[in-house]
Amino acid sequence: MGSDLTTSVQLGNGKTITLPSGLYINGEWVKPAKGVTLDVYNPATNKVIAQVYEGDAEDVDAAVKAARAAFEKDDRSWGFGSPQNRAKLLNKLADLVDENAELLSAIEATDQGKTYTSALYGDIPGVSQTIRYYAGWADKITGKTYNSIPGTFSHTRYEPIGVCGQIIPWNFPALMFAWKIGPALATGNTIVMKTAETTPLSALKIAELIHEAGFPPGVFNLVTGRGPTAGQAIADHMDIDKVAFTGSTFTGRRIMESAAKSNLKKVTLELGGKSPNIIFGDVKSIKEAAEWAIFAIGANVGQVCTAGSRLLVEETIAEEFTKEFVALTEKIKVGDPFDAGSTQGPLNSEGHFEKVKGWIKTAVEDGATVATGGKDISSNNNGGYFLSPTVFTNVKAGHRILENEVFGPVVSIQTFKTEEEAVEIANSTQYGLAAGIFSDSATRLNRLNTKIRAGTVWNNMYNFASPTIPFGGYKQSGIGRENGEVALLNYLEVKSVIANGGEIRSPFAGLSG
Ligand code: NAP
Ligand code: MG
């Protein structure tokens, strides 16, 4: 499939393109030490569409050495150099992403399975917006001065942390790439990134654009590969100063353990969720609330960490709402991501498809009722990993579907009688990533916005995010926040300089002689 360091890719729109297939280390495309390849599948057809290289611990080590050298280079070319230069490079990269938006969207739709339209109007513009937003911060990072010790000039300096390991997931491959590199590069760090096994392609294209933009060699390094090998090597590495991870709570916990057991590298984690979406009887329009609830669970086929997977509906409207919601669910057009009529593509991988079907089986075993969906419809769809959107009713406390992240088009409906009960159910899981509240009462919304234990709370809407607004989880949904000004701190060390103004004598002055 192509030359040694390129691969031809059969896109889902029928076109064939060529992408780099090597690892990107020290500004060059290279083969991994072992030369092992990884098949890349189109989830809509279950066919191999490309081959990329699989890096492992040795390659991570080579990438860390390059990143370390670029960080330490004493020529002001990067982290301790001009912030305007970093902004210029990031802005150039954002422009290149925009120029390649259609291609990147087609790559993302083919490799990930999301609809081409959602990639073109959501993910890829989100990539360039994020990079541009952080470019704007590069020269606005300033310390403070302190007058608290008279006779000193005391101040803080914010400095880059150093070499950052970044491990990204497969649900928003390009967007998570941008959320990771934006704040890290704006603040002058260097990066070793690992993509998810099933979605390496958009990262390979963006790495090509990073090269074209002219970033110094070693500032950004990409190792495609598998979690337990390349990913684990990042978490364990003694010369990585910080690791940022997005993915499951299970893997996040392992990464934190590895960080603790190796060099205590700093850790930020963006993990799973089981987010409640609460619908009160006083909503202005039941139909509109149901439409938002469809978007809450259905966007990206439910493979969204904030997915509104637990619908909590006030008893007074439960029957009418459920009827409306099930009817809308049945209207979802499942099909080819490149077909303009499709609103839902396939799940991302065969393994994940099996896992989601497993959760559906578990919910049925626990006694929940399938109100609609729950069917493997791969055979009507070229063998791709297609599932009909699934709604469960009669879901009760203790059912495993209420506590475990399914990460698919599967939602449960529970009912409640009082606001207190709604809050109690909403806060009853190990997670705290997001929540939705639908009500026409502003006072109720204000009250609940403080009571819900989650990093993002939407009111009368759902699943909107922006690079300018912090994003992350309470409880076991994560540590730290991405996006916004606050994310810069994930990539900065604070140094306090306390300097004698010349008038403070040595503590021992006058004691000797
Ligand atoms: P995962 O294992 O957490 O994968 C996320 C990333 O971590 C991938 O790049 C993965 O590589 C890597 N990884 C896996 N094991 C690792 C290890 N021991 N050390 C370092 N990195 C490692 O998630 P998954 O297995 O793909 O999906 C499982 C579940 O995670 C999903 O069903 C969903 O519930 C949740 N998830 C959440 C998010 C989110 O946005 N919060 C995103 C994705 C998945 P490989 O891909 O090569 O294994
Ligand atoms: Mg995995």
Write the pLDDT tens digit of every residue in 347-358: 999 999 999 999
Q: Whose CA is nearest to atom 20 of ligand 1?
A: 231
Write the pLDDT tens digit of every residue in 88-114: 999 999 999 999 999 999 999 999 999
Ligand 1 atom with minimal separation from the 194 CA: 9
Write the pLDDT tens digit of every residue in 34-59: 989 999 999 999 999 999 999 999 99
Would the pLDDT of 2 be above 60? no
Residue-range domain boundaries for the chain: 22-27+58-271+477-496, 276-459
Write the pLDDT tens digit of every residue in 192-230: 999 999 999 999 999 999 999 999 999 999 999 999 999
302 CA to centre of ligand 2 in angstroms: 17
Among 177, 198, 248, residue to substitute to test ligand 1 (most atoms within 8 Å of Cβ): 248
Would strands 431-432 and 471-472 be described as parallel, antiparallel, or unpaired? unpaired
Average pLDDT over residues 473-481: 98
State which amino acid sits at residue 212: E
Read off the pLDDT band of 513 (50, 70, 90).
low
Ligand 1 atom with minimal separation from the 273 CA: 41
Residues with CB under 6 A from ligand 1: 167-171, 194, 196-197, 226-228, 231-232, 235, 246-248, 251, 254-255, 270-272, 305, 352, 355, 405, 407
Q: Whose CA is nearest to atom 46 of ligand 1?
A: 196
Q: Whose CA is nearest to atom 42 of ligand 1?
A: 247
**Any idea which ligand is nearest the CA of 231?**
1
Among 251, 354, 362, 403, residue to substitute to test ligand 1 (most atoms within 8 Å of Cβ): 251
Whether the CA torsion 310, 430, 482, 356 is positive or negative: it is negative
Q: Whose CA is nearest to atom 25 of ligand 1?
A: 248
Q: What is the pLDDT of residue 1?
A: 44
156 CA to centre of ligand 2 in angstroms: 40
Superfamily (CATH) of domain 22-27+58-271+477-496: Aldehyde Dehydrogenase; Chain A, domain 1 (3.40.605.10)
Q: Whose CA is nearest to atom 8 of ligand 1?
A: 196
405 CA to centre of ligand 2 in angstroms: 14
Write the pLDDT tens digit of every residue in 316-372: 999 999 999 999 999 999 999 999 999 999 999 999 999 999 999 999 999 999 999
C-beta separation of 198 from 153 below 8 A: no
In order, the DSSP letters of 416-459 are ESSHHHHHHHHT-SSEESEEEEE-S-HHHHHHHHHHS-SSEEEE
Cα angle at 487 between 483 and 488, to 5 degrees?
Answer: 125
Decide if 197 is catalytic. Answer: no
Q: Whose CA is nearest to atom 15 of ligand 1?
A: 227
**Any idea which ligand is nearest the CA of 347?**
1
Would the pLDDT of 169 be above 70? yes
Report yes or no on whether pTM surpasses 0.75.
yes
**Among residues 478, 489, 471, 494, which one has the least CA distance to residue 256?**
478
Q: Whose CA is nearest to atom 18 of ligand 1?
A: 228
**Any idea which ligand is nearest the CA of 169?**
1
Q: Whose CA is nearest to atom 37 of ligand 1?
A: 247
SS3 assignment, position 148: coil
Ligand 1 atom with minimal separation from the 176 CA: 40
**Residues 6 or more apart whose Cβ sits within 8 Å of residue 438:** 277, 278, 279, 280, 283, 289, 292, 293, 459, 460
Superfamily (CATH) of domain 276-459: Aldehyde Dehydrogenase; Chain A, domain 2 (3.40.309.10)
251 CA to centre of ligand 1 in angstroms: 6
Catalytic choice (270, 324, 405, 482): 270
391 CA to centre of ligand 1 in angstroms: 25
C-beta separation of 208 from 19 below 8 A: yes
Ligand 1 atom with minimal separation from the 352 CA: 32
221 CA to centre of ligand 1 in angstroms: 20
198 CA to centre of ligand 1 in angstroms: 10
**Any idea which ligand is nearest the CA of 482?**
1
> Which phi and psi (to 5°) does residue 32 adopt?
-70, 160
Mean pLDDT of the chain, nearest integer: 97
**Any idea which ligand is nearest the CA of 226?**
1
Cα angle at 48 between 7 and 339, to 5 degrees?
Answer: 100
In order, the DSSP letters of 2-57 are -STTEEEEE-TTS-EEEEE-SEEETTEEE--TT--EEEEEETTTTEEEEEEE-B-H
228 CA to centre of ligand 2 in angstroms: 8
Write the pLDDT tens digit of every residue in 270-294: 999 999 999 999 999 999 999 999 9
